[in-house]
A = this chain, B = another copy of it.
Amino acid sequence: MDTADSASTGTERSRGRKGKRAVRRTQTASMADVARLAGVSSQTVSRVSNGYAGVNEETREQVLAAMKELGYRPNSAARALKRGEFRTIGVITFNLSTTGNMRTLEAIATSAAQEGYAVTLLPVAVPTQDEVRGAFSRLGELAVDAVIAIMEVHLLDAATISLPPHVQVVVADSDAGDRYAVVDTDQAGGARAAVRHLLDLGHSTVWHLAGPEESFAAQRRTDAWHAALTEAGRVPPPLVRGDWSAESGYRAGLRLADERDCTAVFAANDQMALGLLRALHERGRKIPDDVSVIGFDDIPEAGSFLPPLTTVHQDFAEVGRLCVEGVLRRMRHGGPEHGTTLVPTKLVVRGSTAPPAGDA
């Protein structure tokens, strides 16, 4: 039997297809090959492959053995074609190099994997609407069932048109959009906590080193800072602006060092806070004795700054997880839910904040 079988297979192969096809046969086995070896129909192989219930235990084991022997792997292209879905989530983003985006991406990939979804990355070189539109257009041809965008909503405007209509979109790290579901850190809550912490220490007001104007995240931190001060009856000092980089924080710090009544600064991220620390140190302002500094993000290095940085911890992993959860739920239930999901922040107090000099 066995001999006859393999002989017939060999004959068929050499007769049926020549060269290239034969080679390919040896490379990847199809369901038909497995079926032949196991002595069942390809449909039964399919049932085993997909964990279908109604298969005799004995048959299943035969099939599994045949799969193993041939090194069978389901062809995901054929699967996707048949099922009409790819089990893949596309992530569109520019600038992977910020801690936040990267950590969010990592969490997205992990969560997606747990749900049996793969993650396809779509980098956008320049954050212009044209670039984003191009990326979305490519995504349209891409094998994805859903899209998570890690960017500002306004960059998505007019870009979505080219997306296949059944593809769901969730946006991370952006303002509250009414066209998309948004998952974001509670920027406002974190900023308020930072300001309140400094006020509680006894500082009369808090300066703010803001992120770039075009960033909604920065805008919301700034708004919350302003609101928290105003609510407490304090006068917000003039705004100082950076561009997220440590270098810009350094430049801002050189200016702030000359403001003698500046005893507390809330930097919109940890990198700028780092630059700030350096500038203040160079100008002889002791931290936290002369000036308290607080950051935002809680990057892994923050605890090793000089001095260790008090900052607002963001749970990027949770953001990523919620993005995946949201996009999958929307895919399954179809309903295009809008609105924003907020992930809480946590104040991490370290050594860069203290009561103002002369106090306590």
Write the residues of chain A forming the contact surface with B, with a CB cutoff of 8 angstroms: 24, 27-28, 73-78, 80-81, 84, 86, 88, 91, 96-97, 102-103, 105-106, 109-110, 113, 118-123, 125, 138, 140-143, 164-166, 245-247, 249-250, 271, 274-275, 277-278, 281, 300-301, 303-306, 308
Q: Are A120 and B123 in contact (CB under 8 A)?
A: no
Taken together as a complex, chains A and B put the C-alpha atoms of A119 and B91 apart, in Å, by 10
Q: Known contacts A80-B77, A121-B118: does B246 contact A304 (CB below 8 Å)?
A: yes
* Least distance between A279 CB and chain B CB atoms (Å): 9
The number of times this chain is found in the oligomer is 2
**Distance, CA A305 to CA B81, complexed state (A):** 53
Is B97 a contact of A103 with CB atoms below 8 Å? yes
- Give the contacting residue for A119; candidates B73, B106, B120; CB below 8 A: B120
B304 with A278: CB separation less than 8 A: yes
What DSSP secondary structure best describes chain A's contact surface? helix
CA distance A77 to B80 in the complex (A): 6
The answer, among B143, B165, B304, for a CB contact under 8 Å with A77, is B143
Residues of chain B lying within 8 A (CB to CB) of residue A123: 106, 109-110, 113
A121 → B minimal CB distance (Å): 4
Instruction: Evaluate contact between B122 and A121: CB separation under 8 angstroms.
Output: no
Chain B residue nearest to A82 (CB atoms) is B77
Are B110 and A102 neighbours in the complex by a CB distance under 8 Å? no
Q: How far is the CB of A304 from chain B (nearest CB, A)?
A: 4
- Closest CB-CB distance, A187 to chain B, in whole Å? 22
